[in-house]
Amino acid sequence: MDRFNQKFIILFFIFTTFFIQCGENENNNDLILTLLVMPKTNTTNVGPCPPTSLPTDIPIANTVVTANSTVNGFNNSSKAINGICGGGEFSGSLDVYALNLTGVGATLILSWAGKTVKNVSGIDFIVYENPFRVSESSDRYAFDPMVVHVSFNGTEYCGFDLSGFNPSVADSNKISSWPGFAGLRPTIYNMATKPFSLEELFTTTNNDFLLGGGDGFDLNDLIVGGPGTNCDAAARTLIQTNGFKFIRMVSASAVNNPNTGSGYVYPHSYDNGPDIDGVVAKSVE
């Protein structure tokens, strides 16, 4: 049984157990039925991807700085820089680099080969993972949350506001429960089979998603301090003024939540964290 088939079988039993413990109600029953009828396309790969050559007009992070994952079969870090291979709204790609839930393998650092991602108008970069919506009628997603930090010098990292995190068991797989995190929204963009222009990738739809999917971040939203960072006001100003060269992505479970003293908890159905497809910047120089 492959990793993604395991994901859904175990995910079903985890949510079923939680809902029984929380008490039966109409919303819980709806979600259980949703998990039961998830389309088989959720467990299939997409192709042909990665492309034989990357589009020159899409500034994708192309250099692995730090990668130590031990996830069997998904620890080839080149998968995080070889192109965006999204599977669409209802399916996750297998061309990904998977993080461990904790430890040194829970972190991936990428760069743009020395170039700087600039702070421009609106969203400045997009992180692509492989989540998907569990059914056409559901607002629930199968995802693996991660925390995003950026740095100009590779030493001082700043991140985004995670203070809105407060999901209950019943809504832990709703995007709205994880403000400030990445790895939440499906990746529509596929460089081989569903290409987008750079402008289209950074275009927001009516439901606050991006046309090509993924999770977008604006450098103007960086905060001082923040879980897992050593960001002071000077470091934030440096990044917001000059841009950043390094992006660090960490499994949410490996980042300490100051409100609980432990990692940001998500009911994982298997023993690894986010599956990173890649990162695209709006402007680099």
Residues above pLDDT 70, as percent of the chain: 83
- Chain segment 227-248, per-residue pLDDT in tens: 999 999 999 999 999 999 999 9
Prediction pTM value: 0.85
3-class DSSP assignment, residue 119? coil
Average pLDDT, the chain: 86
Q: Residues 250-254: what's their mean pLDDT? A: 96
Residue that is written with structure tokens 């039961």 in the block = 36
The 3-state secondary structure of 183-225 reads: CCCCECCECCCECCCHHHHCCECCCCCECCECEEECHHHEECC
Taking only the tens place, the pLDDT of each residue in 30-76 is 343 333 333 333 434 444 799 888 999 999 999 999 999 999 999 99
- In sequence order, the 6+-apart residues with CB closer than 8 A to the CB of 176 are none
E strand intervals along 62-139: 63-67, 97-98, 107-111, 125-128, 132-133
- DSSP designation for 43: G
Which residues, at least 6 apart from 87, have a Cβ–Cβ distance to it below 8 Å? Answer: 44, 45, 46, 93, 130, 132, 186, 187, 190
List the domain boundaries for the chain. 45-281
